[in-house]
Amino acid sequence: MKEQINIWQGDITQLEVDAIVNAANNSLLGGGGVDGAIHQAAGPELKEACRKLGGAETGEAKLTKGYNLPAEYIIHTVGPVYRDGQHGEDQLLENCYRNSLEIAEEKHITSIAFPAISTGIYHYPAEEAAQIAIHTIIDYLADKKRDVKVTLVAFDERTAKLYKEIVQNSDKI
């Protein structure tokens, strides 16, 4: 599984992969952080496509075209707002990754890039979120036995180091 996971630091909107994952809000109509960057880079057609989707619940994932992005698709998922870790946040975050991977499988997507979902304005602790992301991805790939390249996109060096440490030290790989 280790060879299927790459860590990349930079702007997710620049990646040439089949699909990028957008850490969206419930409206799916754009916001701040990675969500705003993806909407801006994809162009106005994205907002119109998202309007037709009617929003999404936390943990859910929905698909649109990539429009002006190098990626063919955008998978929009709504991460949980972190309160105290006692309100099902871990399961909701796991659902974001799992549901995004299921859409990728349905669409025969062979390369997908994830941002660090919920770690920005939703305040999910970075290390905990990275553990959930990596273990969910590894479990999914092992269970489905699919040859999918997954890129974990880190906005900063701290997150990139965290991802690398967890991948290298994971006993499931």
Which residues carry out catalysis?
A: 35
Phi-psi region of 123 (alpha: psi -120 to 50; beta: other; left: phi over 0): left
Q: How many CA atoms lie within 13 A of 147 on its CB side?
A: 0
| Cα distance between residue 156 and residue 40, in whole Å | 20
Q: Could you please report the per-residue DSSP string of 50-63?
A: HHHHT---TT-EEE
Degrees to nearest 5, angle at CA 97 with 94 and 102:
120
The SS3 of residue 39 is helix
